[in-house]
Structure 1
């Protein structure tokens, strides 16, 4: 394989990137209007999953119009983010239905911020960062859409890593939802199921999903450039908005310190093992 226009169309990739940017801008602009109407900006959490679905569909259609890419690779690169994004959007929409503003956004925007108000602070702290991250994270999908060659073992490996992530994220979310719905467990710490092996099975799953999609793109060397996508997602999940923020909010809950001592912080590991305690 080589960096040539036969195996990888740079011109088509540029067009698809422009399409992706346009879809992201329109999607978040519409979300901003909806947030103003419903009076809460946490609606953007639904957009997070749905936005990737819309971008994946748009670049799939555009790549078909351009006549670029391999049909099998394009279909896989469409299916993986669409299935992941739809599940996430539906789950978060169900979880947040009938609730007010998410405490995270309320704390971020401050007490003086009117519900759903459109301000510079909202754009700077909520919408622009998420839109920017989405454009970067979706780069492997774009690369996969313009790749003419197929490296079947890499394609299968990518789909397998994605599947591991999808299972961890969806099962972890389901277990947490059942736990929260049980009045008997209120104020306690979930330490069963997947949550015995990692304190964040949903974030670990998200991590695997995007590294799997990246592997689908790297059947051609040019796809290696898009490593910035899963790398940025990993940084956010582990060090910024995912693991770090969740653990800060959970730190004062009874039993959480003991849970941290025996349970791996991110990668699934046997509970109480030395590697798990080291995290």
Structure 2
């Protein structure tokens, strides 16, 4: 284990630098454009940058199969997410969540955005990605735990990608303006994309946990799930939607908030 830790320390510094570079560029772009919604595009790209940095830095270490698997899974997830968010936000103004935060800013709004949006996201990004970084150096070969991790990642990726596609198509129909999507995956969970995210990162942790000391990074997926459920994900988004759409309250009553479950009957 001491050999693994000695290899990890310098790479952890490099991956920290990768996070700083990606979010630093996003911050500069956000200041110049006058909106910081682009940080959500950088979210997926930052994880890809961390995975690629760790992959390159650990060249010759760990298991080749696990290293490539971790890199590919993160790249597929991160690039799809970044492309989806970039397409979704094209031609639109500030994200309502960030707009509400910036309204409370005292002093320089750019400094406030840096300290309250970019820095927290950077810290979470680096911490959540620890299983991926460790997966690049651990040894132990393939196992049932790794296979379970890939399966959970796949379930999460499908929920996230399909959920995003269903929501995009729903919003593209002018007849749905002001309505609440309660069909498809959104019939069973109010946040199929967030549930998918949780599965993706728990699956990636299992890929790392299939060999010692990857299991020690268990707090990373826990942090991601907590953030999605009670942090800047579900909780903040639902407050914004609830303020704008009164009928959303009935949808909340009928539909599971996170885990996919059969919906309750509509009230008459």
Instruction: Report if the CA contact (8 A) 1:35-1:43 is conserved.
Output: yes
1:164-179 alignment, distance < 5 Å: 164-179=155-170
CA distance in 1, matches of 2:251, 2:119: 35
CA distance in 2, matches of 1:178, 1:105: 24
Alpha-carbon deviations, 1:199-246, whole Å to 9, x = none? 110100000000000000001231122112111110110011111112
* SS at 1:207 equivalent: helix
Let me know the Cα RMSD of the aligned residues: 1.8
Partner of 2:92: 99
Instruction: Report if the CA contact (8 A) 1:137-1:229 is conserved.
Output: yes
Query: Is 1:37 matched up with 2:32?
Result: yes
Count of residues in Structure 1 that have an aligned counterpart in Structure 2: 264
Partner of 2:11: 16
Query: Is 1:218 matched up with 2:209?
Result: yes
Give the counterpart of 1:138 among 95, 107, 129. 129
Give the counterpart of 1:268 among 247, 260, 265. 260
How far 1:75 sits from its partner (Å)? 0.6
Where do 5+ consecutive residues of structure 2 fail to align? none
CA distance in 2, matches of 1:102, 1:83: 25
Alpha-carbon deviations, 1:65-110, whole Å to 9, x = none? xx21100000111011111000000000001111122222111111
Where do 5+ consecutive residues of structure 1 fail to align? 274-279
* SS at 2:218 equivalent: helix
Query: Is 1:156 matched up with 2:158?
Result: no
Partner of 1:108: 101
Instruction: Report if the CA contact (8 A) 1:36-1:118 is conserved.
Output: no
Instruction: Report if the CA contact (8 A) 1:197-1:270 is conserved.
Output: yes
Flag the 1:215–1:42 CA change in 2: closer, same or farther, 3 A. Answer: same
Partner of 1:47: 42
* SS at 1:251 equivalent: helix
TM-score normalised to structure 1 length: 0.90
Moved runs in structure 1, 4+ residues, more than 3 A? 111-114
Partner of 1:80: 73
Partner of 2:82: 89
